[in-house]
Amino acid sequence: MSQTTNVTNPSGTHLPYVAKLLQRIDGPILEMGSGFFSTPLLYWHTVKNGQTFRSYESKKSWAETMGSPVQYIQDWSLADINEMRWNLVFIDHGQALLRKDHAIAVKDNADYVVLHDTEDKFEATYRYSEVWPHFKYRIDFTDILPHTTILSNTHDLDWLK
C-alpha cells in the first residue's frame, strides 16, 4: 500500500505553475485559503521582492496553525479582496462554491488568477464552468492531479505552455 508523504501530498500540485508565474510578477499577491505549500512560497517571494502579501483563511484552527502572516477571516464578505490591484490571486480555500464567486469578483482587479482542483470531476463541487466565460485567457495544467488553471483578462498565457 502506498502512503502519501508531506512532499507528495497532492495539495501542492499547483506549485510548478505558481513558481513559473512568480518569475514574471513583481506586484501584490492575494492568497485566499492558506496552506503548507502555497503560503510559504508566496510569502517569501513577496518578502524578497518587497511586495504586498495578503493571506486570508476562514478556518480558525487552520489560520492559527499557519500563524502570521495568515489572517483569520470569519466571513469571506469581510475580506477586502479589491483593496488594490493584485498581480496574482491564488484561490484554494475550503468554501467550495465561494471559489467561483471570488474568481469572478477579482476578474478585473488581478493580472493572474490561479485556481486549484479544476478537473471536471469537481465541477459539481466548485462550478468553475461559471468562471471561464469571465476571462479572456485561460490555461489548464492537467499533467498532474489535482489540476491547476490560470486565468487572466490582461495577459496572454501562451508563455506558460
pTM for the model: 0.93
Using DSSP, how many helices (H) and how many strands (E) does the chain show? 5, 7
Contacts of 4-8 spanning 24+ positions with Cβ under 8 A: 6/36
List pLDDT tens digits, range 113-138.
Answer: 999 999 999 999 999 999 999 999 99
Bond preceding residue 10 cis, omega within 30 of 0: no
Give the domain 26-160 fold.
Rossmann fold (3.40.50)
Amino acid at 15: L
Percent of the chain with pLDDT over 90: 83
Q: What is the residue extent of each domain of the chain?
A: 26-160
Q: Is 54 exposed, middle or buried (0-12, 13-18, 19+ CB in 10 A)?
A: buried
